Amino acid sequence: MPSQLYALCDCNNFFVACERLRHKELAGKPAVVLSSNDGCIVARSEEVKKLGIKMGTPYFSVERLLAYHKVEVFSGDLVWYKEVSNRVMTELARFTDRIEIYSIDEAFLNLAIASIRDKTAYARTIRGAIRDRVGVPISIGVARTKTLAKLAADRAKHDVSGEGVFNLEEYPDLDALLANTPVQEIWGIGRKSAQALARFGVKTALDFCRCDDLWIRKHFTVRGLMTAWELRGQPTGAFGEETEEPEKRKSIQVMRSFGNPAYDFEELAEPVMHFVVSAARKLRNQGSRAGSLCVYIRTSHFAKNRYANTDTVALKTPAANDTELLHHALEALKRIYRPGFAYRKAGVVLSRLCDDASLQTSLFDIDDTETNGNAVKKIASAKRARALKTIDALNRELHGPKILPAALFDSPKKRQDWKPKREHEHTQKPDTN
DNA sequence: TCTGGGGTCCTAGGACCC
DNA sequence: TCTGGGGTCCTAGGACCC
């Protein structure tokens, strides 16, 4: 047994599977799930894949084709998908001592456990358990590195006879498999790198494996090099060490495309303020403060009259309260706003995050917005922090932002029609599980 | 008419210092 | 006024992922 062995468990057509869980009548019928604002297709049932519709296709461009084939269309519901994801991950965790949740629908399981003798049979057991107890189909790839496990899981998905499990350790000819894998299908090699590699005549995973280490390092950075080692069967990272505590985010962003474009400053300020409040809440939930705030606005990529800009504010003292972050965001927005454009998207990024508890506040840098700090303000600031905690707790209990800063109600042109489109909501059946 | 959102990591290059 | 190199730290931007 190799010293490391991974099982990558990957849910099939995950968002569609989630919709089928609560709409039983959808079984065997074609369905797609749309991204925010009903923009792109982000999940397709097998029937839809056979129609040749690609991941990320703009919905408007295939709307009639989908209607013709009587495809069910859903506006995405991330809250529900996360709930199903939790069920899957909880069940998967029962089968291993170490699990690394990689995305909403994927996890790496440690399989280098001596008592598990037949790894392939074990993977089939896992797959059956998720299907029976959660109701979601998954594919499992087994290999000695994560990159190879990803490749194996891909095979598992397309291999009809293998019961959704592909164990690379038992595969007789790895070179042949790599020679049949286009370089762009490798985990970590994206469009740009694939184009660059093609110019050097590197077309398959096997070609890439056989490249010189220094050459790879030079042209594709250390990450490219790690990928090459992993393809050769040499693991480059240990298993995710601490699994008990979820890692804190290093940056927090909230960005949305608008259902309808915004033109004047007030129209744009309204969504931006909502994004700030939402990001700040996430920030406080993980016990952090932000040292930097970035505001981002742009027209459609496809508009004739295009404009995009960002403004980043470095905060002298990291902040986590709505008032202060809103103040900086609006100042930033003023600097980049230009009249005469149809704005389609805006966003807020909080970065340079630090631990709230570890922060040492001096008397003189209480608040970035107040230059002549004094003890009274410090007390006010502490009170405000307590009030925010209460509001955050209430909002959690009420399952959504029911209590918002007054600034959000002051806007003279409150329209709300920037909110993303959701024209494919289906009446939700109560969850029977 | 209509093209997602939220992350991570790496690197180059500028600012600053000695 | 002209002359240097090398280190560190930070940030913007790119590439990638799902």
Residue range A64-116, pLDDT digits in tens: 999 999 999 999 999 999 999 999 999 999 999 999 999 999 999 999 999 99
* Rounded CA–C1' distance between A251 and B5, in angstroms: 14
Sign of torsion, CA A144 A146 A147 A149? positive
Q: Inform me whether the pLDDT recorded for A241 exceeds 60.
A: no
Residue that has been written with the tokens 């050459």 in this structure: A215
Q: What is the pLDDT of residue A243?
A: 46
Residue whose CA lies closest to nucleotide C10 C1': A352
A37 C-beta less than 7 Å away from strand B: yes
A290 C-beta less than 7 Å away from strand C: no
Q: Please name the nucleotide lying closest to A279, CA to C1'.
A: B6
Per-residue DSSP letter, A4: -
Residue that has been written with the tokens 């393809």 in this structure: A231
Residue that has been written with the tokens 């700040």 in this structure: A280
Query: Cα torsion at A246, A251, A252, A257 (round to 10°)?
Result: -130
Nucleotides of B under 7 A from a protein CB: 1-11
Q: Inform me whether the pLDDT recorded for A371 exceeds 50.
A: no
A191 C-beta less than 7 Å away from strand C: yes
How many whole angstroms separate alpha carbon A167 and alpha carbon A179?
Answer: 18
* Rounded CA–C1' distance between A218 and C5, in angstroms: 25
* Rounded CA–C1' distance between A184 and B11, in angstroms: 22
Q: Are strands A99-103 and A343-355 parallel, antiparallel or unpaired?
A: unpaired
Comparing A11-15, A178-182, A368-372, the range with the smallest average pLDDT is: A368-372
Q: What is the mean pLDDT of residues A134-157?
A: 96
SS3 A284: helix
Residue whose CA lies closest to nucleotide C14 C1': A192
A103 C-beta less than 7 Å away from strand C: yes
A344 C-beta less than 7 Å away from strand B: yes
Q: What is the mean pLDDT of residues A336-352?
A: 92
Q: What is the pLDDT of residue A232?
A: 96
* Rounded CA–C1' distance between A259 and C13, in angstroms: 28
Residue that has been written with the tokens 């994004």 in this structure: A275
Closest-CA residue to A42 (of A5, A99, A81)? A81
A265 C-beta less than 7 Å away from strand C: no
Residue whose CA lies closest to nucleotide B8 C1': A250
Which pairs count as long-range contacts for A327-335, CB under 8 Å and 24+ apart, including other chains? A327/A369, A328/A293, A328/A368, A329/A272, A329/A273, A329/A276, A329/A293, A329/A295, A330/A269, A330/A272, A330/A273, A332/A293, A332/A294, A332/A295, A333/A265, A333/A268, A333/A269, A333/A272, A333/A295, A333/A297, A334/A265, A335/A311
More confident site: A409 or A396: A396
* Rounded CA–C1' distance between A257 and B4, in angstroms: 8
A249 C-beta less than 7 Å away from strand C: no
Q: What is the mean pLDDT of residues A257-269?
A: 91
